[in-house]
Structure 1
Amino acid sequence: MQSFKEKVVVVTGGASGIGRALANAFLEEGAKVVISDVEKTALDKTATELAAKGGVVRAVVTDVSKPESVDALADAVFSEFGACHVLCNNAGVSVPNNNVWDTTPNDWQWVLGVNLRGIAHGVQAFVPRMLESGEEGIIMNTSSGDGGISPLADQSVYASSKAGVSIMTECLNAQLVGQESKLRACIFYPSGGILPTGIWTTRRNRPAELAREKPAPEGAEMTFDEFMEGMKQIGVDLPVQDLDELARFALDGLHQGDFVIMIGRESMEDTLVERARKLARGECPIEHGLHA
């Protein structure tokens, strides 16, 4: 898509982190932006701050894990603007690192409900209307290298959800191209360094009915600052990726029509080739996750 000026853009998980940065980047290019999030207070604050910079911003409280909530978001967008040109399915959550056998049913119910089914709900609510409009459009789904490219053993729940996102997006784009529509789908892999986003503390939004059935392992949950301090104490200096820079990179990828949007994506070739070789040899491609 060559220009986002006057285009209608929807960003889920838009109250903070990557979602907020994406919304800001689209606004800077003249788009009309609708941000959604499950956190009303944070959502309203972000919408006010973004609108103060100029441009059209709307906020719609949405729980992407509930199809009726995403349908209501689509109703609001098409009722006011009559179109959606870019859908950023970005909302995501995570749970503490754990052995698969120590995860709980509610861990899977919550994470898959938001990260995977939430994107399916977005596609189901928006894509039929986008197709009907006959206009050019993009569906950008936020995945993760942890799952889509090189899953980490200790992050089984999160990695599984993100692997699903990547495969779903491949299928979606193949269908859109095969049916000669004007829509395209792409995968956004946030990258470039450690990301200072709300994913570190998503437990704040975990529904009471989906609470863990047993306590999380000691030290399994930490904030971004706590993680970085822990790394510093053991002499590890990790790069931190600026989110606004990341968002601008994502928009550049959309302008170029990239299917995979990822900083340093050329490096994934060696990773995926080695993964394929191990699988072809009948080996597990993931390094053993060792607990202290």
Structure 2
Amino acid sequence: MSDETSVESRLLGSADIRRLAADLGLRPTKTLGQNFVTDPNTVRRIVRCAESGPGDVVVEVGPGLGSLTLALLPHVSRVIAVEVDPVLAGALPSTVQKYAPALAGRLDVLRADALRVAELPGPPPTALVANLPYNVAVPVILHMLETFPSLQRVLVMVQKEVADRLAAPPGSRTYGVPSVKAAWYADVTRAGAVGRTVFWPVPNVDSGLVLMRRREPPEGVERKAVFAVVDAAFAQRRKTLRAALAGWAGSASAAEDVLEAARVDPKARGEQLTVQDFARIAAARTSPRQ
């Protein structure tokens, strides 16, 4: 494998991207969040930040015209590209055959909506590496982490605002539901900023890289129970937990009882709590009272 991974791809530049799109009669759509990366240095940087290696089976969501796919293929065992657009899904194997013929055997293309994918071809994936459409980034990340426990790392390029939310610590202004739910699965860190000029068409926002390393979730409580508390706490984030969790617990006084049993201040607010705090709240509600 080490000899094979030294084979390089010819990466796509701006002219390549426009030519491929023209050949396909493709006009990028906002509906699918299609902004194609035209800068080879950016995709090289993504692969480097993803810590990709010869043993990795990478699932790439939204490969588009293949910029990141071509950068990944020389460094990993396999790339499973999940693409919802039938035109792009159909064209990707030919693009890889043209630009990296020696690596074409490492690619699988699955035409599917990533939010509905329940299984993937081949060996279990070890990493998710993707330039994600802004409008579905968080749901896709959470769905993939839940559906494929074999995923050990995630490196995604997302809208800067989404990157900030995913990596936000408790107590910060951007800390919220995405922050807590991502923390259930992994340690989350920012891995750098990406300017808007590396895309075609140029979006109206900047982007950021987020790296997630999977770790064990809190023990003794189910994910759905914890996520229900998180959703309730942030649905009315300006309220104290006693008030915000009243509907979830049955009443404000019941919420206070659960919070005290979980050793969480009823006067606190959701943005002050860690994922472990939310797990204790969920566990306190389901545990028999002492």
TM bucket normalised to smaller: 0.3 to 0.5
Query: Normalising to structure 2: TM-score of the pair?
Result: 0.41
Ranked by relative contact order (alpha carbons within 8 Å, sequence separation 6 or more), the top structure is 1
**Larger strand proportion, structure 1 or 2?**
2
Structure possessing the higher radius of gyration over alpha carbons: 2
Could you state the TM-score of these two structures normalised by the residue count of structure 1? 0.41
From the two aligned structures, give the one with the greater helix fraction.
1
